[in-house]
Structure 1
Amino acid sequence: MSRQKQIWMAVSFIMVLHLAVALCAEPILTVGDFSQANTGETLPRHWEPLTFKKIKAHTTYNMVEDQGRTVIKAYSKASASGLIRKIGIDVKKYPIIQWQWKITDINKKTDVTQKSGDDYPARIYVAFEYNPDEAGVWEKTRFETARLIYGQYPPATVVTYIWANRVPKGTRIPNPYINQVMMIAVQSGDDKVGTWVTEERNIYQDYVDSFGHPPPMTSGVAIMTDSDNTEGTSTAFYGDIIFKSTSGTSIQ
C-alpha cells in the first residue's frame, strides 16, 4: 500500500470518528417541549403539578396558543403552585439553560427581601439532588425525616430565576424562607411586560457562584407563577425550556 493511500485512509478514519462523536454528543436536551403540546391540555408531557400543603389556592396552568405556537399560560389570584418535571441532568455536560417567558403585568408588592413579598409573576426553578454521603449528621436527620413524611428526599439546593419587581437585574439573594434556595433576578420591572423574552444562563456557573462548590445532578426543573403572599394577581406565559452543552443555539 502506498504511503499516500495510508495517509488518506488515516484521515478518512479520523473524519468518520469525529462525525460519530458529534452525532452522539446530544448538544441539546429538551426539558419542556411545550410547543409540541396541544392547546387545551392542562399538563405538558412529563410534567406534573407542584403544590404546597399549607397553600390551598392553586395557580391555574393551561396550554394555549400565543403568536402561532403552543405555550403554557399561568394565572394566579392570591394563589401559589407550579409545574415540575422530575429529571436528573448533569449540568457539567449541559451547563446552559435557555427558556422563553412573557408576563402581562408586574406585581408592585413583591419584595425579594421579605416573606410577605415573596411573589413573582414568573419563576424558573432548577433543583439539585440531596447526596446523603456528603451530608452532616443534622442534615441527614432532617432529610431522612422529610423522606419518611413525603416518600422521597427534597432537593438539597435550588437556583431560581425570577422576574422581579424593583431590584436590579443580576441581583442574587437567598430566598427569605429557605437559604438553600438562591434567587437570581434575570428580569426586573415592567420594561418588557407584554414581550416574549428569551433567556440564557450558565446554570453551572450560577450554582458555583451561589453555593461555592460544583453542582450535583439536578432533581427537577419547575415553573411557577404565584401571588399568595401579596394577595394579588399575575399572568405569565412560558415557552420551551432546553439545556445545552454550549451557548449559541437558540429556541426557535
Structure 2
Amino acid sequence: MKRSSLAGTAWVLALLLASPLLMAQESLLQPFSTMSSLSDGWEPLEFPRIDRHTRYELVTDDGVQVVKASADNSASGLIARLSLEPGESLILRWQWKVSNVFDRGDARKKSGDDYPARIYVAFEFQPDKAGFFERAKRKTVEVMFGESLPGNALNYIWANRLPEQSIVANAFTDQTMMVAVNSGPEQTGEWVTVERDIVADYREAFGENPPRIVGVAIMSDADNTGERATAWYRDLVLEKP
C-alpha cells in the first residue's frame, strides 16, 4: 500500500529506548522492560486503508525485555498517549537497533518515506495558527472518529540517505519534520543510544516554542519501498531535566 494513504500521518495519530541501566521510574513513559503485555501503557497505531501492519512483540535481548518490530511492506506503530506541557526542556533518551536500512529509502521523496525505526512525537493542534480549510478538515475527521487530532510532529528517524542531524519536512506534509538521528548502514546490528531535547528540536524545526505533547510512538514502516526490516527498541525515557 502506497503512502498516499499515510499522507495524513501527522493528524491521524490520534486514531501515534533508553539504556536498561536508567531508572525506569524517572520516565514519563511506561518502560518496555517491565511490561507484561504490549497494552501496558501503549496501544496500536494504525492508519486508514493500510491493511498490512508491522508486527510488534515483546522479546528478550541480552537479558532485557525489548520491543521487536518486524516490517514487511507494512506500516503501523505503538503509541503512548500523553498530555504534557514540555516546558523549557524535555529530554527523550532511547536505544534502538535495526537489521538493515532500506535500499530505496529517501526521506525527501514520497516513494522513499520509510524507516526501519522511528520515534514519533505528536503535539497538540493549535487552531489559532491554522487556516479555515485546515480547521474544517480536522473538524470533519473528529466528528467521524470521535477524536481530537494532533498538530505538528517531530519524527526521529534512522535514515538511509539523509545526513545525520539533518532536519527536513516530511515528503507528504510540512506539519511533520524529520530528524535524522542515525543514517546509513554502518551501525546496523548494533545497539545505538540517542538523546534529544524535544523542546530545542521543535524550536529549530518549526521556529517557535512547542505546544503540549499528546503522544509518543515507535514506528517501523516499509509500505512505500515494499522492503523489509527488523528493529528492536529498548525503553524510551522521557524526563524533564
Query: TM bucket by the smaller chain?
Result: 0.7 to 0.9
Written as runs of structure 1 = structure 2, the 5 A alignment for 1:181-196 is 181-196=176-191
- Displacement of 1:169 after TM fit? 0.2
2:166 to 171, 189, 196: 171
Alignment length, in residue pairs? 217
- Aligned residue for 1:159? 154
1:50 to 42, 45, 53: 45
2:68 to 73, 83, 88: 73
Provide the C-alpha distance between the structure 2 equivalents of 1:120 and 1:135, rounded to a whole number of angstroms. 29
Query: 1:210-244 CA deviation, whole Å, 9 max, x = no partner?
Result: 11111111110001001111111010001111112
Query: 1:7-60 CA deviation, whole Å, 9 max, x = no partner?
Result: xxxxxxxxxxxxxxxxxxxx933314001124xx4x141111001111110000
1:113 to 99, 108, 112: 108
Provide the C-alpha distance between the structure 1 equivalents of 2:78 and 2:154, rounded to a whole number of angstroms. 16
1:64 to 59, 64, 67: 59
1:125 to 120, 124, 139: 120
2:198 to 203, 209, 232: 203
- Displacement of 1:134 after TM fit? 4.8
Query: 1:38-86 CA deviation, whole Å, 9 max, x = no partner?
Result: 4xx4x14111100111111000000000010100000011111101111
Alignment gaps of 5+ in structure 2 = 1-24
Q: If the length of structure 2 is used for normalisation, what is the TM-score?
A: 0.86
- Displacement of 1:111 after TM fit? 0.6
What SS class does the counterpart of residue 53 from structure 1 fall into?
coil
Sequence identity of aligned pairs in percent?
43
Q: If the length of structure 1 is used for normalisation, what is the TM-score?
A: 0.82
CA contact (8 A) 2:97 2:188 kept: yes
Between 1 and 2, higher relative CO (CA 8 Å, sep ≥ 6) is seen in 2
- Displacement of 1:178 after TM fit? 1.3
- Aligned residue for 2:31? 33
Check if 1:101 corresponds to 2:99. Answer: no
CA contact (8 A) 2:42 2:78 kept: yes
Indicate the larger mover: 57-66 or 92-101: 92-101
Provide the C-alpha distance between the structure 2 equivalents of 1:115 and 1:132, rounded to a whole number of angstroms. 27
Distance 1:114 1:134, change over 3 A: closer
RMSD: 1.6
Q: Which letter does structure 1 place at the counterpart of 2:206?
A: F
Q: Which letter does structure 1 place at the counterpart of 2:139?
A: E
CA contact (8 A) 1:34 1:44 kept: no
CA contact (8 A) 1:168 1:185 kept: yes
Provide the C-alpha distance between the structure 1 equivalents of 2:200 and 2:85, rounded to a whole number of angstroms. 13
CA contact (8 A) 1:124 1:222 kept: yes
Provide the C-alpha distance between the structure 1 equivalents of 2:111 and 2:92, rounded to a whole number of angstroms. 29
Query: 1:165-219 CA deviation, whole Å, 9 max, x = no partner?
Result: 1221011111111110000000001111111111100100111111111111111
- Aligned residue for 1:12? none
The structure having more radius of gyration, on CA atoms, is 1
